[in-house]
Structure 1
């Protein structure tokens, strides 16, 4: 199983709402699966977690940042990638506060365009009430421990 270091982004707007992307897989190894997850992704060779967080923030939201903010959580999880590869992901979660909810998908990859069906800003009560699958599963507690919610 390949090790996959990953920077994950906890993007929070001025109203303390959290940005999540809805992934809907209509083909490949994850066909039929759908879930909500944070923006972010794997590190490029030689890239730090902080640099990856800044790059992923721009690529997935269109917002440029000079620093990702504090790392507030870390977890290791194994899962299947879209192409069927099994990975063990060392995920570092960065809290990023933004002043606007304006987002751009201009820099998404072809894979992201195929899988991301929606973007949504969530209030704590909405996230707690959803029956949809959300990753990471303890995201509400993660944000509570960080003093965001």
Structure 2
């Protein structure tokens, strides 16, 4: 039996003034190295809480500085489907940050981010609903619509 290892992450729904959400196309830790579109964010470091991790991750991955990621709008607990991951389960807390449109800056990316992030793009909810490209979580379009409607 495999030991249960949970990775805590903070994810950010970054929404611009045109109601588009920023996603990163990243390489999954899986045989064949498939990519999927995910929100900015990442692991909660030792000594951090989810809010602190959200602030740090947004800066690292985009160059944007915030002081408050707002309230948690969703919590996901899931099994990790990737065969090369260093964890068996995930716990993700999602925050919403509204910012004016910007271009992603990679100046603060970690070595791992430089390897794993393939591209970034702003998406509308309609584009998310109609894409054939892998998006995580799979119901991201519905989550974006619920955030936009609130």
Q: Which residue of structure 1 aligns with residue 45 of structure 2?
A: 44
d(CA) in 1 for partners of 2:41, 2:10: 6
Query: Normalized against structure 2, the TM-score is what?
Result: 0.89
* 2:10 and 2:44 in contact (8 A); partners too: yes
Structure 1: runs of 5+ lacking an equivalent: none
The alignment status of 1:5 with 2:8, answered yes or no, reads yes
Report 1:1-149 matches (<5 A).
1-24=4-27, 29-79=30-80, 83-148=84-149
| Cα 1:62/1:148, change in 2 over 3 Å | farther
* 1:42 and 1:52 in contact (8 A); partners too: yes
Tell me which protein shows more strand as a share of its residues: 1
The RMSD of aligned alpha carbons is 1.9
d(CA) in 2 for partners of 1:82, 1:62: 31
Note the C-alpha offset of 1:102: 2.4
d(CA) in 1 for partners of 2:146, 2:8: 23
Note the C-alpha offset of 1:141: 1.4
Query: Normalized against structure 1, the TM-score is what?
Result: 0.89
Instruction: After superposition, give the CA deviation of every residue in 1:38-78 in whole Å (9 maximum; x if it has no partner).
Output: 11011011211101000001000000100112211111112
Q: How many residues align?
A: 147
d(CA) in 1 for partners of 2:129, 2:56: 29
Note the C-alpha offset of 1:143: 2.1
Note the C-alpha offset of 1:142: 1.3
Note the C-alpha offset of 1:136: 0.6
